Amino acid sequence: MIDYYIKNMSEDEKGQKFLELIDEQNNLQWSIIEKLSQLIKQNWNSSNMQKDLENFMARHSTITKELNSLDIDNNIL
């Protein structure tokens, strides 16, 4: 479904989507660092923070896959 959507996007739309995903990915990276720091301070004893971290990392992975699919012809990256 995403592949079909991406194939039908204009280059401007792909560029805009790319910038949005990069921004979201950057915010997630900072959230991951923050959660890791908190977990370290708590000696890894917070299951809620561990779950948050798992969710952040899953979303980060999804964004990375979407970013890679935007650059089918190696035009953006």
**How far is the C-alpha of 42 from the C-alpha of 52, rounded, in Å?**
15
Any domain includes 36: yes
Any domain includes 4: no
What pLDDT was estimated at residue 6?
63
The total number of structural domains that make up the chain = 1
Residue that the structure tokens 């650059």 belong to = 71
Range of the domain at 35: 17-70
Model confidence pLDDT, tens digit, residues 26-64 = 999 998 898 888 888 888 888 888 888 889 889 998 988
Model confidence pLDDT, tens digit, residues 61-75 = 898 888 888 766 655
Any domain includes 35: yes
